[in-house]
Amino acid sequence: MFDFKQYMKNQQKRVNEKLASLFAQAPQKSRLLSAMHYSLMAGGKRIRPILCISAASAANENDMDVLPTACAIECIHTYSLIHDDLPSMDNDDLRRGNPTCHKAFDEATAILAGDALLTLAFEILSEETLSHTPQVRLEIIRIIANAAGPYGMIEGQMRDIASETKRLSENELEQLHNLKTGALITASVNAGAILAKATEKQQQQLNVYAQNIGLAFQVIDDVLNVKGDPERLGKAVGTDSDLQKNTYPSLIGPDLAEEKARQLVNNAIESLQDFDSRAEPLRAIANYIFQRDH
Amino acid sequence: MFDFKQYMKNQQKRVNEKLASLFAQAPQKSRLLSAMHYSLMAGGKRIRPILCISAASAANENDMDVLPTACAIECIHTYSLIHDDLPSMDNDDLRRGNPTCHKAFDEATAILAGDALLTLAFEILSEETLSHTPQVRLEIIRIIANAAGPYGMIEGQMRDIASETKRLSENELEQLHNLKTGALITASVNAGAILAKATEKQQQQLNVYAQNIGLAFQVIDDVLNVKGDPERLGKAVGTDSDLQKNTYPSLIGPDLAEEKARQLVNNAIESLQDFDSRAEPLRAIANYIFQRDH
């Protein structure tokens, strides 16, 4: 019987140790490094790096040396959170109960810490590993840069800001989420698959998995904001409708939104039907996304 | 006789055409792409990409397909200018006589346009070229990411901000400049040398060249701010001492500062003594740095 909680705990530990080691060789702990460290080690669930690791495991039983890539993706995710929280963007003072980077430090330091985490990610990705050819590493860099760049995550954030003052269609909302969160989630899974030398067919199936959970993740986030239990969620609910945000529950109603999320998760799990028990972590992550507060 | 002006004009044209082509395939011109394009095509002198191209030419007479790398470096330089100009950093409204990115667009768009140019740079660097092995391309990515990251350019900007409120020693000022501008200039030259398959010895000599002109560039900037002709410079002079900034003229006096710059340029040219006429562009760039407004 696959123990999901234990699996997550083990992988989080691996990821956290590797991330912490990025700062271990630093000649001196500058204010910049302190700010990077502060946000990177602020208790994220490490979903993206674990998806990368789990996709690699699903395709290949060997440890394929995916940890550096997984951690580079977490650096990119963290930079995006730091910049999204800035006063000129979402203007958030708190993240996971702690002051955001620009509150704990200052705005200039937060911008530069984000820039530095993004740059560091590509330095990590450029470093040699034992298991992968330079050709493969370049492909990983291309996939991640493309997903995080002006045709992916950053365009998603642009649209998210613009959407605050207008009403989106369901299709526009889906595009926004696919760019803002889906692209990097998909890149995480695809990178893991490529590092593990998955077959073309496996890569396609894992890609379908990723696209479905990427969107499911966001739909469920919206649903929980309407129907969730604030005590179990650890944060306030109902804040989205207060702000008249574009959400799935407000567009199609909370019940249909929940149904949509269930369908996306089912599609994700179905896309893994040719995989054996090594894909259990990916299946469990899909279920976890749907059930995280139901 | 080497025609430096014509050479610069030709290379600027090549770089500008390549940079413009980055936007040619865009499915639609989003606000994000418009902001990136605005800052990237705002009339920079393209010193870094031309150094990259010229270093490659100095080591090898073939066209070694260095243009994509040269343009990726210019994307990184432009992103750093956009972020440095932000209200929480240097708070500049004008750059080269035009509104800065956050003035022409808005602050959120400027931050994201900078992020996107940085990310795009690594996507460009990850793309295959005919002349270089994946191994070499990875090494280029590593060199550039390291120079632009938290132990290079970004740390330089942190120190620059911190230095506004304190008096630096000459040594601290030199370290600041080596990080803030020297690191990326050195990476530009080193990347060109590696792409051109320069020998180990040539790489070392070009590295000495780069370190000297990187610092000379900044010392001369400071000197021109004190002694320059505002009409020929196209900008106000004397602004540094108004702001009580840490500069070489204020630390060691304008004459010694000018002498220091001359020495750095001489060192740079001397380091190229084993190179033949193919290093003329590099020699001319060094002289240009010293003479650009004398």
From the list B120, B137, B161, which residue is nearest A150 (CB)?
B120
Lowest mean pLDDT among A198-207, A233-242, B34-43, B44-53: A233-242
Taking alpha carbons only, the member of B96, B77, B90, B70 closest to residue B11 is B70
User: What does DSSP assign to residue A174?
Assistant: H
Distance from CA of B154 to the nearest CA of A (A): 6
* Pairing, β B94-95 against β A98-99: unpaired
CA dist B241 and B252 (Å) reads 13
Q: What is the pLDDT of residue A233?
A: 58
Burial class (CB in 10 A: 0-12, 13-18, 19+), B277: exposed
Whether pLDDT at A293 is above 60:
no
pLDDT exceeds cutoff 90 at B291:
no
Asked if B141 lies within 8 A of A161 by C-beta distance, the reply is no
Helix (H, G, I), strand (E, B) or coil at A246: coil
Angstrom distance (rounded) from CA B212 to CA B216: 6
Average pLDDT over residues A196-208: 97
DSSP β-ladder status, A98-99 and A94-95: antiparallel
Chain B residues within an 8 Å CB radius of A137:
134, 138
C-alpha angle A208-A53-A98 in degrees, rounded to nearest 5: 100
**A40, A21 Cβ separation under 8 angstroms:** no
Distance between CA atoms of B238 and B3, rounded to whole angstroms? Answer: 33
Range in A30-44, A164-178, A189-203, B214-228 the model is least confident about: B214-228
Q: Pick from B96, B119, B80, B105: which is nearest to B45 by CA?
A: B96
Decide if A111 and B148 are in contact by the 8 Å CB cutoff: no
pLDDT tops 50 at residue A294: no
Q: Please judge whether A115 and B155 are an interchain contact, meaning their C-beta atoms are less than 8 angstroms apart.
A: no
> Confidence class of residue B102 from pLDDT cuts 50, 70 and 90?
very high
Partner-chain contact A89 B108, CB within 8 Å? yes
The whole-number pLDDT of residue A237 equals 64
- Shortest CB distance from A116 goes to which of B31, B111, B154? B154
Q: Which residues of B touch A151 (CB under 8 A)?
A: 26
Considering the entire predicted model, what is its pTM? 0.95
Short-list B141, B108, B116, CA closest to A183: B116
Average of per-residue pLDDT values in chain A:
92
A122–chain B nearest CA distance, Å: 6
Are A50 and A16 contacting, i.e. CB atoms less than 8 angstroms apart? no
Residue B176's nearest CA partner among B210, B148, B215, B118 is B215
Q: What is the dihedral of CA A136, A138, A141, A144, to 10 degrees?
A: -50
* Predicted confidence (pLDDT) at residue B177 exceeds the cutoff of 60: yes
All domains of chain B in start order, with CATH: 4-20+31-291 (1.10.600.10)
- Using 50, 70 and 90 to split pLDDT, how confident is the model at B294? very low
> What is the pLDDT confidence band of residue B121, given thresholds at 50, 70 and 90?
very high
Spatial neighbors of B115 by CB under 8 A, at least 6 apart, are A79, A83, A114, A115, A118, A154, B79
Residue in chain A closest to B120 (alpha carbons) equals A149
Q: What per-residue confidence (pLDDT) applies to A159?
A: 96
Contact A142 B155 (CB under 8 A): no
CB contact under 8 A, A126 and B119: no
CA nearest to A128 within chain B: B138
Of B186, B154, B132, B129, nearest to A110 by C-alpha is B154
Spatial distance between the Cα atoms of A83 and A148, rounded to a whole number of angstroms: 13
pLDDT at A178: 96
Q: What percent of chain B has pLDDT over 70?
A: 93
Does A119 contact B150 at a Cβ distance shorter than 8 Å?
A: yes
Tokens coding B76: 């990184």
- Tokens encoding B8: 């610069």
Contacts of B127 in chain A (CB under 8 A): 142
| Average pLDDT for B23-45 | 91
Best of A100, A125, A154 to mutate (most B CBs within 10 Å, chain B): A154
Task: For residues B4-29, give the mean pLDDT.
Answer: 92
Amino acid at A42: A
- The alpha carbon of B127 is separated from its chain's Cα centroid by a whole number of angstroms, namely 22
Nearest to B123 among A33, A89, A142 (CB): A142
Which residues lie closer than 8 Å to B151 by C-beta, 6 or more apart? none
